[in-house]
């Protein structure tokens, strides 16, 4: 990898919002070339693009090419993009992910768009109610990616039993059962609840996440506050295309133009390698 390419990947990784603007100006194949050349670094930028442009890019990738970018996206953002491609394409793209994540994403995709189940994060941490506080702390260190401010507690049948926050877990005695520190009952919404009802739920006045239960009452995931804000933004926009990530102001036109040049240069450098890979049996 040349020094110029290393710098380009560093900019993509550190400034995804500005990179997203540059990527959106390219044809879908050139966008895809950037993702193929550095999917992990480009993943964050993919999440900052307007949804139609990001989905169009994903649709021309193979499962192996798309997997690193999809894996880096927040689950609700990944789901929103997968819903914008044909069902057979979404099913194909998911096959490049680890088995556990495949199952979790498929579980969300089966719920109709516009429901709580469709926007929940299925990968939040749920701890069994028969372990100790000390064991809970060990498990959290092993599963940092699904961590919210709140920790949900379930029984061995998967039924939601309680909730506590991380400070409460840290203050509790390690030898005590986790059930002794949790709060019950827990406010939650069924997965088929319409998104409009989720947005208006009074529990948002007190909590930053809302647990979701499936048809059998089992814990299925949680809706993050950031997702609520995205739903409100989309409702206010009347369904217009909005960025899949939370956007903020640009760092300046001069910086943006310089980064755009970097990104476009990466696309040009990656395109010949991509065509060569396709000649050797790319599965697109």
- Is residue 70's pLDDT more than 70? yes
Q: Is residue 237 part of a domain?
A: no
The DSSP call for residue 179 is G
Instruction: Provide the CATH number for the domain around residue 145.
Output: 3.10.580.10
The DSSP call for residue 97 is S
* pLDDT of 231: 74
Q: List the domain range (segments joined by +) for residue 149.
A: 126-231
* pLDDT of 180: 94
| Element of type H or E holding 160 | strand 160-165
* The pair of three-digit structure tokens given for residue 16, joined into one six-digit string: 């995804």
Dihedral of CA atoms 150, 152, 153, 158 in degrees, nearest 10, equals: -170
Verify that 103 and 150 share a domain, yes or no. Answer: no
Instruction: Provide the CATH number for the domain around residue 14.
Output: 1.25.60
Q: Is the dihedral of CA 220, 224, 227, 229 positive or negative?
A: positive
Count other C-beta atoms under 10 Å from residue 236's C-beta: 9
SS (H, E, C) 106-151: HHHHCCCCCEHHHHCECCCCEEECCCEHHHHHHHHHHCHHHCCCEE
* pLDDT of 74: 79
Q: Is residue 239 part of a domain?
A: no
Q: Is residue 115 part of a domain?
A: no
Verify that 222 and 134 share a domain, yes or no. Answer: yes
* pLDDT of 92: 92
Verify that 99 and 15 share a domain, yes or no. Answer: yes
Q: Is residue 284 part of a domain?
A: no
d(CA 174, CA 178) in angstroms, rounded, equals 9
Question: In terms of residues, how long is the chain?
Answer: 284
| Three-state SS at 76 | helix
Verify that 226 and 200 share a domain, yes or no. Answer: yes
* Average pLDDT value over all residues in the chain: 77
Residues in Cβ contact with 169 at an 8 Å cutoff, skipping those fewer than 6 apart: 133, 136, 137, 140, 151, 178, 181
Verify that 88 and 178 share a domain, yes or no. Answer: no
* The pair of three-digit structure tokens given for residue 119, joined into one six-digit string: 């926007």
Domains held by the chain: number: 2
Verify that 173 and 216 share a domain, yes or no. Answer: yes
Q: Is residue 238 part of a domain?
A: no
Phi and psi, residue 115, nearest 5°: -120, 165
Verify that 96 and 133 share a domain, yes or no. Answer: no
Residues in Cβ contact with 40 at an 8 Å cutoff, skipping those fewer than 6 apart: 68, 69, 72
Verify that 261 and 226 share a domain, yes or no. Answer: no
| Residues 234-279 pLDDT 10s | 777 664 333 333 222 222 332 333 444 444 444 554 444 433 333 4
**Threshold 0.85, pTM exceeds:** no
- Is residue 83's pLDDT more than 60? yes
Verify that 105 and 61 share a domain, yes or no. Answer: yes
Count other C-beta atoms under 10 Å from residue 148's C-beta: 18
Verify that 97 and 154 share a domain, yes or no. Answer: no
Place of tokens 């005695």: 173
- DSSP letter string over 8-60? HHHHHHH-HHHHHHHHHTS-HHHHHHHHHH-HHHHHHHHHHSBHHHHHHHHHT
* pLDDT of 256: 38
Beta carbons of 111 and 134 less than 8 angstroms apart = no
Q: Is residue 120 part of a domain?
A: no
Confidence grade of residue 228 (pLDDT, cut at 50, 70, 90): confident
Work out the angle at residue 178's Cα, subtended by the Cα atoms of residues 198 and 157, and round it to the nearest 5 degrees.
Answer: 60
| Residues 2-61 pLDDT 10s | 665 566 666 666 677 777 777 777 777 887 887 777 666 677 777 788 778 888 888 888
């Amino acid at each position: 990898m040349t020094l110029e390419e290393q710098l380009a990947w560093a900019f993509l990784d550190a400034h995804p919002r500005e990179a997203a603007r540059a990527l959106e100006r390219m044809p879908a194949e050139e966008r895809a070339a950037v993702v193929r050349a550095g999917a992990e670094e480009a993943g964050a930028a993919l999440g900052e693009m307007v949804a139609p442009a990001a989905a169009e890019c994903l649709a021309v990738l193979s499962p192996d090419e798309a997997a690193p970018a999809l894996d880096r996206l927040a689950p609700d953002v990944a789901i929103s993009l997968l819903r914008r491609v044909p069902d057979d394409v979404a099913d194909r793209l998911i096959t490049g992910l680890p088995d556990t994540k495949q199952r979790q994403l498929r579980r969300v995709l089966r719920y109709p768009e516009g429901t709580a189940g469709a926007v929940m994060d299925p990968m939040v941490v749920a701890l069994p109610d028969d372990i100790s506080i000390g064991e809970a702390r060990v498990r959290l260190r092993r599963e940092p990616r699904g961590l919210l401010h709140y920790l949900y507690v379930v029984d061995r049948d998967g039924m939601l039993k309680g909730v506590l926050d991380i400070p409460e877990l840290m203050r509790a005695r390690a030898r005590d059962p986790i059930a002794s520190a949790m709060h019950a009952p827990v406010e939650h919404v069924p997965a088929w609840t319409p998104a409009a009802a989720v947005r208006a739920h009074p529990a948002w006045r007190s909590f930053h996440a809302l647990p979701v239960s499936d048809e059998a009452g089992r814990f299925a995931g949680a809706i993050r506050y950031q997702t609520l804000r995205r739903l409100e933004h989309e409702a206010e926009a009347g369904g217009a295309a909005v960025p899949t990530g939370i956007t903020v102001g640009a760092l300046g036109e001069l910086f943006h133009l310089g980064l755009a040049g970097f990104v476009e240069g990466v696309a040009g450098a990656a395109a010949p390698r991509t065509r060569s890979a396709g000649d050797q049996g790319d599965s697109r």
